Amino acid sequence: MKISTLIVAISFSALLITCNTNENVPSMEHFKTIRGGCADGLPPSAMVTEEKTDTIYHYIDSNYLNIYVGFVASCCIQYSDKAYINGNKITLLLDQVSSEPCDCICYYEFTFKFKELEKKTYNYVVKINGIEKFSGTIDLRQLMKMNNLFA
Protein backbone atom coordinates (compact mmCIF):
# COMPACT_ATOMS: atom_id res chain seq x y z
CA MET A 1 0.00 0.00 0.00
CA LYS A 2 2.84 2.40 0.83
CA ILE A 3 4.52 1.72 -2.54
CA SER A 4 1.32 2.47 -4.49
CA THR A 5 0.84 5.72 -2.55
CA LEU A 6 4.44 6.68 -3.32
CA ILE A 7 3.97 5.91 -7.03
CA VAL A 8 0.80 8.04 -7.16
CA ALA A 9 2.58 10.94 -5.41
CA ILE A 10 5.55 10.77 -7.81
CA SER A 11 3.25 10.58 -10.84
CA PHE A 12 1.26 13.59 -9.63
CA SER A 13 4.45 15.59 -9.03
CA ALA A 14 5.72 14.75 -12.53
CA LEU A 15 2.39 15.88 -13.98
CA LEU A 16 2.64 19.24 -12.19
CA ILE A 17 6.21 19.80 -13.39
CA THR A 18 5.19 18.95 -16.99
CA CYS A 19 2.25 21.37 -16.88
CA ASN A 20 4.41 24.24 -15.65
CA THR A 21 7.07 23.87 -18.36
CA ASN A 22 4.64 25.19 -21.03
CA GLU A 23 4.55 28.66 -19.44
CA ASN A 24 7.75 29.76 -21.21
CA VAL A 25 6.66 28.69 -24.71
CA PRO A 26 6.55 31.86 -26.83
CA SER A 27 3.36 32.65 -28.70
CA MET A 28 3.02 34.33 -32.07
CA GLU A 29 3.18 38.12 -31.94
CA HIS A 30 2.99 41.09 -34.31
CA PHE A 31 6.27 43.01 -34.33
CA LYS A 32 6.25 45.30 -37.34
CA THR A 33 4.10 46.78 -40.10
CA ILE A 34 5.72 47.80 -43.37
CA ARG A 35 3.95 50.54 -45.29
CA GLY A 36 3.96 50.91 -49.04
CA GLY A 37 2.26 52.94 -51.75
CA CYS A 38 0.33 55.89 -50.39
CA ALA A 39 0.57 54.48 -46.87
CA ASP A 40 4.30 55.25 -47.07
CA GLY A 41 3.61 58.94 -47.62
CA LEU A 42 3.81 59.07 -51.40
CA PRO A 43 2.52 62.39 -52.75
CA PRO A 44 -0.81 62.72 -54.60
CA SER A 45 1.14 62.48 -57.86
CA ALA A 46 1.53 58.77 -57.01
CA MET A 47 -2.20 58.30 -57.39
CA VAL A 48 -3.68 55.23 -59.04
CA THR A 49 -3.48 55.51 -62.83
CA GLU A 50 -4.53 51.94 -63.52
CA GLU A 51 -7.35 49.92 -62.03
CA LYS A 52 -6.29 48.18 -58.81
CA THR A 53 -8.37 45.92 -56.64
CA ASP A 54 -8.44 45.55 -52.89
CA THR A 55 -6.16 42.65 -52.04
CA ILE A 56 -5.07 40.42 -49.18
CA TYR A 57 -2.59 37.57 -49.19
CA HIS A 58 -0.21 35.91 -46.76
CA TYR A 59 3.13 34.15 -46.98
CA ILE A 60 6.07 33.03 -44.87
CA ASP A 61 9.45 34.66 -45.39
CA SER A 62 12.52 34.12 -43.15
CA ASN A 63 10.43 32.38 -40.49
CA TYR A 64 7.96 35.30 -40.31
CA LEU A 65 4.29 35.30 -41.24
CA ASN A 66 3.49 38.26 -43.52
CA ILE A 67 -0.06 39.41 -44.15
CA TYR A 68 -0.28 41.92 -47.01
CA VAL A 69 -3.29 44.25 -47.25
CA GLY A 70 -3.75 46.61 -50.21
CA PHE A 71 -6.75 48.84 -50.87
CA VAL A 72 -7.87 51.86 -52.85
CA ALA A 73 -8.96 55.04 -51.01
CA SER A 74 -8.82 58.81 -51.32
CA CYS A 75 -5.34 60.31 -51.46
CA CYS A 76 -3.72 62.20 -48.57
CA ILE A 77 -5.32 60.08 -45.82
CA GLN A 78 -3.13 58.72 -43.05
CA TYR A 79 -3.97 55.42 -41.36
CA SER A 80 -3.00 53.93 -38.04
CA ASP A 81 -2.32 50.21 -38.01
CA LYS A 82 -2.85 47.76 -35.16
CA ALA A 83 -2.68 43.98 -34.91
CA TYR A 84 -4.09 41.79 -32.16
CA ILE A 85 -3.85 38.05 -31.58
CA ASN A 86 -6.30 36.39 -29.24
CA GLY A 87 -6.06 32.60 -29.19
CA ASN A 88 -6.43 31.56 -32.82
CA LYS A 89 -7.88 34.89 -34.04
CA ILE A 90 -5.82 37.63 -35.72
CA THR A 91 -7.45 41.06 -35.96
CA LEU A 92 -5.89 43.76 -38.15
CA LEU A 93 -7.21 47.30 -37.80
CA LEU A 94 -6.53 50.18 -40.17
CA ASP A 95 -8.15 53.42 -39.05
CA GLN A 96 -8.13 56.83 -40.67
CA VAL A 97 -6.28 59.36 -38.50
CA SER A 98 -6.45 62.38 -40.82
CA SER A 99 -9.55 63.97 -42.26
CA GLU A 100 -8.26 65.96 -45.23
CA PRO A 101 -8.58 63.71 -48.31
CA CYS A 102 -7.36 65.01 -51.66
CA ASP A 103 -9.37 64.84 -54.86
CA CYS A 104 -7.68 61.68 -56.17
CA ILE A 105 -7.52 57.94 -55.60
CA CYS A 106 -4.50 56.16 -54.12
CA TYR A 107 -3.44 52.57 -53.40
CA TYR A 108 -2.48 51.91 -49.75
CA GLU A 109 -0.31 48.94 -48.81
CA PHE A 110 0.41 47.42 -45.40
CA THR A 111 2.40 44.26 -44.63
CA PHE A 112 1.87 43.01 -41.09
CA LYS A 113 4.77 40.86 -39.86
CA PHE A 114 4.47 38.22 -37.14
CA LYS A 115 7.17 36.22 -35.35
CA GLU A 116 7.27 33.24 -32.97
CA LEU A 117 5.07 31.24 -35.34
CA GLU A 118 2.95 28.46 -33.90
CA LYS A 119 1.86 25.46 -35.94
CA LYS A 120 -1.88 26.01 -35.85
CA THR A 121 -4.75 27.46 -37.84
CA TYR A 122 -5.70 31.11 -37.38
CA ASN A 123 -8.84 32.95 -38.41
CA TYR A 124 -8.23 36.54 -39.41
CA VAL A 125 -10.29 39.65 -39.92
CA VAL A 126 -9.18 42.99 -41.41
CA LYS A 127 -11.21 46.07 -40.59
CA ILE A 128 -10.71 49.40 -42.33
CA ASN A 129 -12.32 52.29 -40.44
CA GLY A 130 -14.29 49.78 -38.36
CA ILE A 131 -15.80 47.97 -41.36
CA GLU A 132 -14.84 44.37 -42.05
CA LYS A 133 -13.02 44.30 -45.38
CA PHE A 134 -11.39 40.85 -45.41
CA SER A 135 -11.65 37.63 -43.42
CA GLY A 136 -10.35 34.13 -43.82
CA THR A 137 -8.14 31.37 -42.47
CA ILE A 138 -4.38 30.87 -42.38
CA ASP A 139 -3.15 27.31 -41.78
CA LEU A 140 0.38 27.81 -40.47
CA ARG A 141 0.91 24.06 -40.15
CA GLN A 142 0.51 23.74 -43.91
CA LEU A 143 2.48 26.92 -44.74
CA MET A 144 5.37 25.90 -42.50
CA LYS A 145 5.42 22.41 -44.00
CA MET A 146 5.46 23.86 -47.55
CA ASN A 147 8.35 26.15 -46.58
CA ASN A 148 10.26 23.43 -44.70
CA LEU A 149 9.98 25.36 -41.43
CA PHE A 150 9.51 23.30 -38.33
CA ALA A 151 9.68 25.91 -35.58
Mean pLDDT of 120-145: 94
What average pLDDT does the chain have?
Answer: 81
Mean pLDDT of 54-59: 94
At residue 39, the pLDDT reads 83
37-56 pLDDT, tens digit each: 888 876 555 555 666 789 99
For residues 113 and 67, give the distance between their C-alpha atoms in angstroms, rounded to a whole number. Answer: 7
Q: When comparing pLDDT for 51 and 34, which is higher?
A: 34
Between 9-18, 34-43, 111-120, 136-145, the lowest mean confidence (pLDDT) is in 9-18
CA–CA gap between residue 66 and residue 57 (Å, rounded): 8
* pLDDT value for 37: 83
pLDDT score for 25: 54
pLDDT score recorded for residue 102: 81
Residue 98 pLDDT: 86
Residue 16 confidence (pLDDT) above 60: no
Name the more confident of 63 and 99: 63
